[in-house]
DNA sequence: GAAATTTTGGACGGTTCCGGTCAGTACTGT
DNA sequence: ACAGTACTGACCGGAACCGTCCAAAATTTC
C-alpha cells in the first residue's frame, strides 16, 4: 500500500486510523490551476496535498481574493469535517503536484467512527481558523512588502526544495494587488539578496532574512500549526 | 427553567438537547469591555450571547485588530467544539448585555454524546469560518466607507432595537483605522440619512440604504448564516 | 531565425488613508 | 456654575497604494 506520510495530517494519524483511511485514498497528479470546487459546489471529495499547494479564495465582485493556502500541513474539505455538504469558497491548485484524494462519503463514515481521525481533523480546523483570522488583520495593517515575504515563506514551507514556479502576475492576484506593485516589492527582496527570480522561477535564498522582513503573522500562525498539528511545518 | 431562545443556536436545538444544555447554563450580565479570554488562555467556559455583541480580535504588534463579531446568531468557545483547550484569539464584550454561559467541561461531555448539539455547533463553525474568510478579502479591497456600513449592519442585526452605544473612537479600533477616518465615513452616512449619531449613540435609520452602500460581503455572509444556522440573522 | 507571447521594469498622475494636531461642542461630577 | 472629560469636526503634509500605460528582455512558436 502507498504511503501518504508526506502529508502532516496523515502522518499524525495512529497506524490503524491511517490504514483505514488509506484504503480510500488515491494519489492524483494535479497541474497548476486545476479547479477543486467553488462556492455552491457539493464537496464530494477531500484532498490531502502531498507536495502541491492549494489556494482558497473568496469572491470579491467579479474577481477572487486569496484567503488561505493549504499544503502538506493540511487538507481541503473542511465542510465535510463540519458535517456540511456545500463549499463556500473556491479551491484550486496553485502550485502543481501530487494530492491524496478520498471520497467525502467514505471520509464522513470514518469521521463518525474513528475518534483519532476526528480529533486530528478538528485540531486542524482550529489551526486553519487561526490562520484565516490572522490574515484578516494582516491584510489590513501590513505592507505589501511584508505580506509578500510572508506569502513566499508560507509557500516555501509547502513545496519540496527552495524553488517554485510563480510569476509576479500570479503573486499579484494572490495578494490582491497590482502586478506592478509586486514587481517593486519582489525587486526589493531580490536586491536585499533574500530571493532570486527569473521569468517565473522563484528561489528562496535566505529564509531568516525573509522572515525578518515579513510581518509577525508568519511566525504566529506557524507556531499555532506546530502546536495543533504536532509537528513543525516550517522548513529547516 | 429559564429560556435561552434569544440565541439562535440554542433556539435551533431540538427540545431535549436544549433541555440538557440548559441545565448547565446560567445567564450573566456583561458590561462593555468585559474580557472573556485571550490567546494562551484555557477556554473553560462557552458563551452564548443573548443580546450582547462580542468581538474577536487578533494581535497586530502591540495592538489588536478585529477579526469577527459574535452575537445572538452564534457562540464563543469554538476551541471547545474543536476539542482543543487553548484560545488563539482575544474575546471581549463589545456591546454590553446578557450572555448564557456554560462550563467547557460539561459542554464537551454533551458534545460527545449529543449528535444534534454537535451537528449544530459544527454547522456554526462552518458559517463562522466563511465569515472570517470573507473578511480577509473585505479588509483588503473594500473602502473604509463600505466596511463601516457593513460593520454597522452586522451590529444592528445583533442588538435589540435600532440604537446602540458606539463612539467613532471605538469603531475606529474595530475597523483598524484612525478615528478621524471614521468621523469622515460616518459623517457621509449621516449626511445621506442612513444613520444618525450623537455622542456615542448610533441609530440606524435606513437599513436598505446602508446595505447598498456596504460591500457585498454583508449579504454574502448573512446568507451563509441563514443557510447554516437555519434562520435569518438579519433584522426585518 | 522571425514573429508572437510571456515576463519584468519603469513611469505618470490620482486616490485613499495615515499620523499628527487643534478646536469646538456636549455631557459629567462636584 | 465651573472645571473636567468625552466626543466630534476639520486640517496639514506624506505614504502606500492604485489604474494605466509604454518598453525591454527572455522565451516559445512557426
Q: Each residue of B51-77: pLDDT tens digit? A: 999 999 999 988 899 999 999 999 999
Contact B136, A59 (CB under 8 A): no
* Whole-number Å distance between alpha carbons of B126 and B130: 6
Nucleotide nearest to B200 (CA to C1'): D7
Q: Is A181 on the interface with B (CB under 8 A)?
A: no
Q: How far is the CA of A101 from the C1' of C4 (A)?
A: 40
Q: How far is the CA of B130 from the C1' of D28 (A)?
A: 42
**pLDDT at residue A61 in the model:** 86
Mean pLDDT, residues B39-57: 95
Q: Is B79 on the interface with A (CB under 8 A)?
A: yes
Does A231 score more than 80 pLDDT? Answer: no
> pLDDT grade, residue B233 (50/70/90)?
confident
Question: Is it the case that residue B18 has pLDDT exceeding 80?
Answer: yes
Task: Please name every residue paired with A196 in a beta bridge, in sequence order, or none if there are none.
Answer: A203
- Rounded, the Å distance between the CA of B178 and C1' of D13 is 17
Distance (Å, rounded) from C-alpha A132 to C-alpha A140? 13
Does residue A156 register a pLDDT over 80? yes
B68-119 pLDDT tens trace: 999 999 999 999 999 999 999 999 999 999 999 999 999 999 999 999 999 9
- CA gap B222, A127 in Å, rounded: 24
To which residue does cell 449529543 refer? B114
Chain C positions with an atom below 7 A of a protein C-beta are 6-11, 16-21, 26-27
Strand order in the sheet with A53-60: A35-37, A90-95, A53-60, A63-70
B57 contacts on A by Cβ (under 8 Å): 137
B178 and A CB contact within 8 Å: no
First to last CA, chain B: 29
CA distances to B26, B99, B145, B150, B216 from B211, in Å? 36, 28, 11, 7, 8
Return the H-helix or E-strand segment holding A158: helix A144-158
Output the pLDDT for position B2. Answer: 63
Q: Are the beta carbons of B141 and A220 separated by less than 8 Å?
A: no
B177 CA – C10 C1', rounded, Å: 32
Is B141–A83 a contact, with Cβ atoms under 8 angstroms apart?
no
C-alpha distances out from residue A164 to A54, A161, A232, Å: 14, 8, 21
B88 interfaces chain A, CB cutoff of 8 Å = yes
Residue A167, pLDDT > 90, answer yes
Which window residues (150-209, chain A) lie with Cβ within 7 Å of strand C? 167-169, 179-180, 183, 186-187, 190, 197-200
Cβ distance B132 to A137 less than 8 Å, yes or no, reads: no
Question: For A52, which DSSP code?
Answer: -
User: Distance between CA atoms of A90 and A98, rounded to whole angstroms?
Assistant: 19
For B146-186, the pLDDT digits (tens) are 999 999 999 999 999 899 999 999 999 999 999 999 999 99
Amino acid at each position: 500500500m502507498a504511503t501518504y506520510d508526506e502529508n502532516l495530517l496523515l502522518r499524525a494519524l495512529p497506524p490503524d486510523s491511517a490504514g483505514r483511511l488509506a484504503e480510500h485514498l488515491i494519489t492524483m497528479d494535479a497541474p497548476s490551476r486545476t479547479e477543486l470546487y467553488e462556492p455552491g459546489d457539493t464537496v464530494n471529495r477531500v484532498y490531502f496535498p502531498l507536495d502541491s499547494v492549494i489556494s482558497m479564495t473568496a469572491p470579491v465582485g467579479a474577481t477572487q481574493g486569496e484567503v488561505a493556502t493549504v499544503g502538506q500541513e493540511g487538507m481541503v474539505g473542511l465542510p465535510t469535517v463540519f458535517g456540511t455538504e456545500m463549499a463556500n469558497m473556491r479551491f484550486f491548485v496553485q502550485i502543481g503536484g501530487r494530492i491524496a484524494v478520498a471520497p467525502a462519503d467514505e471520509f464522513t463514515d470514518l469521521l463518525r467512527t474513528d475518534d483519532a481521525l476526528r480529533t486530528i481533523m478538528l485540531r486542524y480546523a482550529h489551526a486553519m481558523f487561526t490562520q484565516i483570522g490572522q490574515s484578516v488583520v494582516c491584510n489590513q495593517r501590513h505592507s505589501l512588502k511584508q505580506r509578500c515575504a510572508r506569502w513566499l515563506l508560507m509557500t516555501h514551507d509547502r513545496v519540496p526544495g527552495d524553488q517554485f514556479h510563480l510569476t509576479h502576475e500570479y503573486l499579484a492576484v494572490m495578494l490582491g494587488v497590482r502586478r506592478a506593485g509586486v514587481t517593486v516589492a519582489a525587486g526589493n527582496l531580490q536586491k536585499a539578496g533574500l530571493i532570486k527570480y527569473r521569468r517565473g522561477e522563484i528561489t528562496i535564498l535566505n529564509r531568516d532574512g525573509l522572515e525578518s522582513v515579513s510581518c509577525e503573522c508568519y511566525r504566529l500562525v506557524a507556531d499555532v500549526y506546530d502546536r495543533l498539528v504536532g509537528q513543525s511545518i516550517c522548513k529547516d
